[in-house]
Chain A
Amino acid sequence: MNIHEYQAKEIFSTFGIPVPRSRVALTADQVERAAKEMGGHCVVKAQIYAGGRGKAGGVKIVHHPEQANDVAKELFGKKLVTPQTGPEGLKVRRILVEEAVEIAREFYLSITLDRATSRYCLIASPEGGMDIEEVAHRSPEKIHVLTIDPLMGLRPYQARKIALALGLTGVVCEDCVELILNLYRCCIEKDCYLVEINPLVVTKAGWLLAMDGKVAFDDNAVYRHREYPDMVDYSQLDPLEINAGKYDLAYIKLNGSIGCMVNGAGLAMATLDVLKEFGGEPANFLDVGGGATREKVTEAFKIILEDCDVKAVFVNIFGGIMRCDVIAQGIIEAASEVKCHLPIVVRMDGSNVEEGKRLLMESGLNVQVGDNLGDGAKRIVKMLGQGG
């Protein structure tokens, strides 16, 4: 679960991590007023759920409140396209107005999960303010990684080693030790997948400041933090994906015309791969969960059909312990409920397959049954007239 930069900084602030003075604005007038508060010279930053905003024109330095107003007018409602947004871009609805700071040095600092060691790890680099993956690729010696033992936690001596490796000395070094320890506390207490400060700066006056912040929460831990759902900015998400989330379905909109409903993420990905192999273009990724229930199948059907690009539906359920006749009934009910006249191909496996197939064939729907994964994919592509 992602949140905006300004929210990340609010959280940092509660953990004693210094951030620049700032205000969030929803209108150009608010931006102007906030800029006046900062003394006119400030940074106007578009808030979207993606990085790479600077190069896309989403971050501008202004010198007067009126100029801030002009920049804001241009940004609000505009779709920013960055390497992380996809070609459609993300619409700017909120702007962060922040005091301009005289920067002496920039660093990179983050704590994230390392699957290889099953631990959180701290990543730091003296090359701040740029794409960290690029730094790692170009000059790996400038990346410092510390694996954190969860039983011991992050200790001051370890944080100090990192601060020293960044080239900090004296008071700023000790400030950085405290900041690193606070960042780890934030990561753990807030159940984060990632906390990132890029850049972390030392100002010309000698203070540490988190100039940009990124926080991603662990979706599995949302139940422990009742405030998290209210922090989501739904304007940054695909409406169909939001709807799917309500029913605990994993849905991702894609660009094709074949709606897909599959149980299990791995099989769902494999299904997209097979469709493409036979020349079809999937309209979505949809995982109804390993043990597809009738209710979920019904909701999934509705969500797939809400996408106007969908011209046919491919259902691939490896029921396993789920009975196929039950799944077939779910499909029939859902299709009749939403008055689906589109061609449907169902590939099912599990107990009572024959009964499930019979129910589908006798349902009066425009449905075909695939014998296996390949056969099903072939049929749906043929019914749609796609492919060679």
Chain B
Amino acid sequence: MSILIDKNSRIVVQGITGRSGLFHTQQCRAYGTNIVAGVTPGKGGIHIDGIPVFNTVEEAVRYTKANVSMIFVPPPGAADAILEACAAELDLAVCITEGIPVRDMVLARSVQERSKTLLVGPNCPGVITPGQCKLGIMPGYIHKPGMVGVVSRSGTLTYEAVKQLTDMGMGQSTCVGIGGDPIIGMKFIDVLEQFNNDPQTEAVFMIGEIGGGAEEEAAYWIRENMKKPVAAFIAGVTAPPGKRMGHAGAIITGGKGKAGDKIRILNECGVVVAESPTKMGHAMKEALQAMGKAVPKAAAKKAK
């Protein structure tokens, strides 16, 4: 088991004929992802790398029974792509696109919320169930099948965390990059809830950063509901206030969203917080041990 995606997921790629859309489609397919269709308006009828391309998601679903979408559509059309995925009643849409205007996302999110389609992203690395299905731009080779669920607002920092987990022998059930934008689909709590109900997931690692109140909300939810050990890392302890650190979401304003407060609240709610980004794997191990769970041993040390 895993969450959101597995080897049976049938993927349609929206924006498949774009440069990064095609590149990552090939990468995902090489990992073993079952990509059944692509969508690019105006290019319906062609095949690209043997994958049939349709004009609309609806058509792609009708002919290929696709149930999950990966979106690489550029910002001006990305919100529309999300709405189209919802209209086609897909189970899940993962939107990788970075730079979607807020106004478009407010509308897309409000429609998506009322639909049966789950949304991950936008501006995220995607979702991967190691060994089964990779849906996004993350490097597949750092992942390993296992029992730790990973949920993160960051991209490359997630790779860093996953690598530490893998190196210490802790494989992952599913890794979900929820994205760094102010408006996103699934939030920490939505993903935590799925991990809580997934029999394969025995523990969760959560990666947050400064700005907003999502980590705090997640902390309180964990205290009330989570049956499994949780460890976390919060980036931006040393960030100066009022500066926008790359992510639209990562801004500390008016004394809200400080890393220190997030860490304190997570600790109070029973989450083991890594003191340093070099200790993310250790924090996960500590959380597992604290709950009396068995910690997998690292595989034989790789030669340096």
Complex contact A220–B246 (CB within 8 A): no
Binds A, one of B61-69, B198-206, B233-241: B233-241
Q: Which of B225-280 contact A (CB under 8 A)?
A: 233, 235-240, 242-250, 254-255, 276-278
Of A193, A276, A318, A372, chain B has the most CB atoms within 10 Å of the CB of A318
Binds A, one of B45-53, B102-110, B293-301: B102-110
| Minimum CB–CB distance for A376 against chain B, Å | 10
- List A contacts of B145 (CB < 8 A): none
CA distance A319 to B139 in the complex (A): 8
Q: Which of A242-278 contact B (CB under 8 A)?
A: 250, 252, 254, 262-274, 276-277
Given A266-B209, A318-B160, check contact A273 B276 (CB 8 Å): yes
- List B contacts of A133 (CB < 8 A): 254-255
CA distance A118 to B186 in the complex (A): 11
**CB of A285 closer than 8 Å to a CB of B:** yes
Complex contact B156–A120 (CB within 8 A): no
Q: Residue A276 contacts which of B102, B125, B160, B238 (CB distance < 8 angstroms)? A: B238
| Minimum CB–CB distance for A300 against chain B, Å | 13
| Minimum CB–CB distance for B238 against chain A, Å | 5
Complex contact B163–A349 (CB within 8 A): yes
Given A115-B249, A269-B209, A274-B276, check contact A264 B237 (CB 8 Å): no
| Minimum CB–CB distance for B295 against chain A, Å | 20
Q: Give B76-98 as 1s and 0s: 1 = Cβ < 8 Å from A's Cβ atoms.
A: 10000000000000000000001
Question: Number of residues in B with C-beta < 8 Å to the partner?
Answer: 67
CA distance A266 to B237 in the complex (A): 11
CA distance A120 to B109 in the complex (A): 12
**CB of A320 closer than 8 Å to a CB of B:** yes
Q: Quick one: closest A residue to B255, CB to CB?
A: A133
| Minimum CB–CB distance for A187 against chain B, Å | 9
- Known interface pairs A262-B156, A374-B276; 17 further A-B residue pairs with C-beta atoms within 8 A, sorted by A's residue number: A113-B102, A119-B106, A151-B107, A220-B100, A265-B180, A266-B158, A266-B207, A266-B235, A266-B247, A268-B246, A269-B246, A270-B236, A273-B237, A320-B137, A350-B139, A351-B139, A373-B278
Listed by A's residue number, 26 A-B pairs whose Cβ atoms lie within 8 Å are A115-B213, A118-B106, A118-B110, A133-B255, A218-B101, A219-B248, A220-B100, A223-B76, A252-B243, A252-B245, A264-B156, A266-B153, A266-B247, A267-B160, A267-B235, A268-B246, A270-B233, A270-B236, A270-B277, A273-B238, A282-B238, A285-B245, A290-B156, A320-B137, A349-B163, A374-B276
